Amino acid sequence: RIKELEDQLVGLQKQIDQPLRRRLPETRSAGTHKFDIAGHEGYLTIGLFEDGHPGEMFITMAKEGSTIGGLMDSVAALTSISLQYGVPLDALVRKFTHQRFEPSGFTKNPQIRRASSIIDYVFRWMGIQFIPGYLEKTTGDTSQQELDIPGLRQAEARHVNKPVVELPVSGGGDGESVESAAAHSHGRDGSAISQSVAHFMEDAPTCPTCGNVTVRNGACFKCLNCGESLGCS
């Protein structure tokens, strides 16, 4: 009798150690979202559990049979299985956002003005829809006001109104050369600007006018070199 109880205990222990898959009901609620990334259209369908949490994903690209369509089907199937086995949506969103590959570009979604890939768009949209506070945490102020970057105005003023460097005394001496002094001053100002705007340059595209890296300005991007605005027109 004790042997039978031990065998039953071992069997129960094995069942506990096995992962549990939570399947969706035969009839479930779902929502479909149409997206457009640089002219590549697709449809994202999310199936929901009874409590409203996402449990499955379908990604259908407009061009059936394309390579990107097959890859999106595979990503959707893997995401669905992960959600049904209890993987937190927040972990998936953190892992797959900001993946950079083509197709990428501007979108028609005012909450996601630019996506670095289809995967980036899909999981950012999932975060906005199903993770409380995700939109406010990732986009910040979307009122298109000018960014208040600490130290930027002071650094620009020093760069424009920098004093004239004295020329070294002829015949050698301890004076600093014009080139080295100018390089030192430029490096100091440049590092101050870089540290000030580094937080706003994450996932920023290059300016189509001058080629400099832009910074985030609300929901859009702005070039600090020529003033070009991306995604706000």
Task: Provide the token pair at 109.
Answer: 């979604």
User: Which segments within 161-208 are labelled E, that is strand?
Assistant: none
* Cβ–Cβ < 8 Å for 35, 58: no
Domain residue extents for the chain: 30-139, 152-230
For the whole model, what pTM was predicted? 0.56
Spatial CA neighbour of 206 closest among 104, 78, 85? 104
* Cβ–Cβ < 8 Å for 118, 37: yes
| Mean pLDDT, range 160-165, rounded to an integer | 54
Out of 30-39, 76-85, 199-208, pick the least confident: 199-208
Q: Each residue of 119-137: pLDDT tens digit? A: 999 999 999 999 998 888 8
pLDDT at 153 over 90: no
* Cβ–Cβ < 8 Å for 137, 205: no
Please provide the size of the chain in residues.
233
Alpha helix segments (H runs only) across 85-215? 89-96, 118-130, 134-139, 152-160, 178-197
| Mean pLDDT, range 73-98, rounded to an integer | 92
pLDDT score recorded for residue 175 = 46
- Residue whose pair of structure tokens reads 């409380």 in the numeric block: 132
| Mean pLDDT, range 38-43, rounded to an integer | 87
Q: Check residues 229 and 188 and name the one with the higher pLDDT.
A: 229
Position 16: which residue type? I
pLDDT at 29 over 50: yes
